[in-house]
């Protein structure tokens, strides 16, 4: 489930950034902000995750919280 969840979240990142960050880039690891996720994209991503999974995440919740792995863990823990 985690791999599928991570892939879906990567697709949501792609949509939230209007294509600035591809799903493959998000899956490669590292900071999504460094890849191009800006504050508006972060808000869109938070909303998309809430709409699709019914969970709230905080992308500023500690070091590394803006990585796809961290977001995947947060979502999985709240499902």
pLDDT in tens, the chain (79 residues): 588 999 999 999 999 999 999 999 999 988 999 999 999 999 999 999 999 999 999 887 566 678 999 999 999 999 8
The per-residue pLDDT for 5 is: 96
Domains in the chain, number: 1
DSSP code at position 54: S
φ and ψ at 31, to 5 degrees? -70, 125
The per-residue pLDDT for 58 is: 86
The per-residue pLDDT for 29 is: 86
CATH number assigned to the domain comprising residue 20 = 1.10.1200
The per-residue pLDDT for 37 is: 93
The structure's pTM equals 0.91
Which residues span the domain enclosing 9? 2-78
Query: How is residue 13 written in tokens?
Result: 């990142």
Burial class for 41, CB neighbours closer than 10 Å (0-12, 13-18, 19+): buried
What does R_g of the chain's alpha carbons equal in angstroms? 11
């Amino acid at each position: 489930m985690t791999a599928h969840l991570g892939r879906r979240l990567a697709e949501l990142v792609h949509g939230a950034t209007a294509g600035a960050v591809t799903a493959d880039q998000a899956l490669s690891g590292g900071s999504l902000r460094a890849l191009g996720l800006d504050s508006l994209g972060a808000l869109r991503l938070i909303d998309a995750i809430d709409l699709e999974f019914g969970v709230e995440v905080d992308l500023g919740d500690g070091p590394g919280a803006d990585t796809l792995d961290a977001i995947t863990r947060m979502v999985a823990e709240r499902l």
